[in-house]
Amino acid sequence: MAISLRRRNLSRLAFVAAALFLVRALFFPSSDPASSSRSFATTTHTNQIEEHNFIERATRPDKSLNVQRHKFLQSRIGRDSRHEVLGDVIRNGINDYWDRFQLPYIMSKDTAPMDAQHVLSAIDQLLSLNGWVAALCPTLVRPFNQNKREDAWDDIIRQDHIYYFAIVIHSADHFLVDQLAVIVQMAKRLGNNNIFVSMLDYDSRDSTETIVDLCEAVLTLLGVPFRIRRVPGMTEDPNTAYYPLEEAHMRNLALEPLKELQQKRQIKFHRVIWLKGFTCPNDILETIKISLANDAAMVCGMDWAEHNGFFIFSDRWRTRDIEGDQFRQSKSSSKPDAVPPRDKVGAARYAQHLPFQVFCCEAGTHVVDPAQSYYKGISYRAGTDFHNLSTTEEPPTRNPDSPCLDSSQAWFCRDLWVRSARDAMDEVDRVNGGSPPRGNRKRDVELIDVAQRDPLMDEARAANAEEAKQKREAAAAALDPDANVGSDYDAMSDEEGGEVVPPAEDIEQGRLSIPNSVFRPARILVNPRCPTTYAGVSHTQLALDLFGNGETNEEVRGKYVLEDWEGAPESFVCQEQRQTGGRKATKTQRRLGFSIHDELQRLQ
């Protein structure tokens, strides 16, 4: 077990141990001190969201997220009870501290009342301990001076909507405390009873579990509703897993409380916020504002990872510009002709720090409108005709136009496009009582496999890929090679041809029987003013690279609202995992046609 203690976690562990002392000391005074001092966090709530009872249904059903009234709004499922490293040491220390310093104090009549303010300020101290998070955010440069205006988000806060925060943790202890700090900030701004936090620990093998205890304690103290759940991996051996399926599985599990709250208590959230990596609270609020102003199905931040002393745009696996092309792996300081989005309009708007439309994104923190997605029955999914390398079966035969075996987010985006088109047609139907136009000419798209186009390049690439693979395997001595070390981790590397964009001319435009441009577009945007990063990154430098001095005219047009929306691209760069092998399994890429009309017909 000791191997799992990577060095960077040591200081975190020390911090967490100290934090647990404090939180625990504050957490249990009101409950039975004797029993709580023996086993940490023994709160046993009902795990399930309860339906409105008979009386509630007859009167006015309570749709609040009030944790005092509804205990089931705070629950923990599947606590990891494996033996912990240093677990005994921590427990002994806690018991000792409790028995000698806390218990006599709590039991004494004079000192018993513990001021809630006392508790809250302790949490503040606790979270600001962790370096740059809470402390640095307000000082970072942002365009349009938006960090300098305290009242910038008052309109969102006044609306009193409810928001759902979802986090999937897969061996990512190194940014969980930071994310918790952000959640506490958001709870303060939006109101404790206006947010719900869903944390899914997917088979983490590092110190995530301990930090999740801390999260539970802090959220309980603050009266924030939550469900924290730990689940085992989909396959026993992570190397036999198929990553896109795992992604879909984790995401859907993290959304379970959302659906339960809707079905059992008719509680509907205004937006779902997926936290990935670290994003400053103001940037999340701004992304929510952009989402609301555009009635957007999804708005993503941009993910920047440190790479040889530079910051590069990450998450190129899941992001596609409005022409279906991959983003560039640009540096944060890139020149205007080499910015992440390749399409002209997107690049121009990016350069002005304005939100721009994309075909798909996930990069970092992103905000989803559940009314346009989850509440309409869209959930995360992935391709299933992959090759399981652990079996002796032959690889499945796949046609050149079989669906792309890419990330579950890419599937989600395509589902959003098709859904948006279908909804618009249904609306027209309802108004006219007529039926939408129906063509029956089959799409006729040529599919170009990059590998087939240039055998020499292919050979060189294969050699490079082999070398890269060997390097990776050497590096994979760590306990959990699949850990969440940054969202570009699962992108196709340049050696494997990740930078080779199959040109769009290969699939001729206008071949579709009914062009995508006639359908109502899905509103998917990237907000370049919302950087997401990881611990250890120099946020001040990143902000300067991206936004310079940040002094831009306040009244920029299109600061929040995009006025012209494009239809879906007729083809996109499909980067797929055709086989099992965890997150870093080999990927190949091709350009694949995308016809909303065909997709709609498939649904019928």
Ligand X SMILES: *[C@@H]1O[C@H](CO)[C@@H](O)[C@H](O)[C@H]1NC(C)=O
One-character DSSP codes across 352-375:
TT--EEEEE---SSEEE-GGGTGG
Cβ pair 406, 574 in contact under 8 A = yes
Cβ pair 106, 516 in contact under 8 A = no
**Which residues inside 131-150 make contact with ligand X, applying CB under 6 A?**
none
CB of 347 to ligand X, least distance (A): 38
The smaller minimum CB distance to ligand X, of residues 314 and 408, is found at 408
585 touching ligand X, by CB under 6 A? no
Q: Which residues have C-beta within 8 Å of that of residue 446, sequence separation ≥ 6? A: 506, 507, 508
Q: Of the listed pieces 238-246, 289-297, 410-418, 421-429, which binds ligand X according to CB under 6 A?
A: 238-246
- Answer for which of 102, 147, 220, 580 binds ligand X (CB under 6 A) is 580
* Residues making up the chain, counted from first to last: 604
Phi, psi of 37 (to 5 degrees): -75, -15
CB of 386 to ligand X, least distance (A): 7
Binding mask 330-369 for ligand X (x = CB under 6 A): ----------------------------------------
The smaller minimum CB distance to ligand X, of residues 242 and 374, is found at 242
CB of 237 to ligand X, least distance (A): 7
**H or E element at residue 592:** strand 588-593
CB of 351 to ligand X, least distance (A): 42
- Answer for which of 164, 196, 242, 359 binds ligand X (CB under 6 A) is 242
**Position 191, amino acid:** G
**DSSP secondary structure letter of residue 82:** S
The smaller minimum CB distance to ligand X, of residues 59 and 391, is found at 391
The smaller minimum CB distance to ligand X, of residues 391 and 399, is found at 391
Rounded to whole angstroms, the Cα distance separating 70 from 53 reads 12
243 touching ligand X, by CB under 6 A? no
CB of 476 to ligand X, least distance (A): 19
CB of 388 to ligand X, least distance (A): 4
The smaller minimum CB distance to ligand X, of residues 340 and 383, is found at 383
**Which residues inside 383-422 make contact with ligand X, applying CB under 6 A?**
388, 390-391
The smaller minimum CB distance to ligand X, of residues 323 and 406, is found at 406
* Token pair of 328 as six digits: 């560039």
Q: Of the listed pieces 43-51, 240-248, 360-368, 408-416, which binds ligand X according to CB under 6 A?
A: 240-248
**Tokens 């302790």 found at:** 122
Q: Of the listed pieces 91-99, 235-243, 430-438, 500-508, which binds ligand X according to CB under 6 A?
A: 235-243
CB of 246 to ligand X, least distance (A): 8
Rounded to whole angstroms, the Cα distance separating 416 from 323 reads 16
Phi, psi of 402 (to 5 degrees): -70, 155
Of 165, 382, 190, which is closest to residue 258 (Cα–Cα)? 165
The smaller minimum CB distance to ligand X, of residues 408 and 420, is found at 408
CB of 235 to ligand X, least distance (A): 4
The smaller minimum CB distance to ligand X, of residues 239 and 513, is found at 239
Binding mask 532-571 for ligand X (x = CB under 6 A): ----------------------------------------
241 touching ligand X, by CB under 6 A? yes
Which contacts qualify for 572-575: CB closer than 8 Å, 24 or more apart?
572/320, 572/324, 572/325, 572/359, 572/360, 572/404, 573/320, 573/324, 573/325, 573/326, 573/501, 573/502, 574/404, 574/406, 574/410, 575/317, 575/326, 575/406, 575/491, 575/492, 575/498
CB of 453 to ligand X, least distance (A): 30
**Position 390, amino acid:** S
- Answer for which of 43, 95, 235, 493 binds ligand X (CB under 6 A) is 235
One-character DSSP codes across 286-331:
HHHHHHHHHT-SEEEEEEEEEETTEEEE--TTT-EETTSPBPP--B
Which contacts qualify for 88-97: CB closer than 8 Å, 24 or more apart?
90/17, 90/20, 91/40, 93/17, 93/21, 94/20, 94/21, 94/24, 94/37, 94/40, 95/37, 95/38, 97/21, 97/25
Alpha carbon separation from 560 to 315, 412, 554, 565 (Å, rounded): 24, 24, 12, 14
CB of 346 to ligand X, least distance (A): 35
CB of 301 to ligand X, least distance (A): 30
Rounded to whole angstroms, the Cα distance separating 204 from 480 reads 8
CB of 593 to ligand X, least distance (A): 27
CB of 402 to ligand X, least distance (A): 18
* Token pair of 518 as six digits: 């006639």
The smaller minimum CB distance to ligand X, of residues 244 and 364, is found at 244
The smaller minimum CB distance to ligand X, of residues 147 and 580, is found at 580
| 74 bridge partner residues | 226
Tell me the site size for ligand X, rule CB under 6 A: 8
The smaller minimum CB distance to ligand X, of residues 248 and 284, is found at 248
Residues that bind ligand X (CB under 6 A): 235, 240-242, 388, 390-391, 580
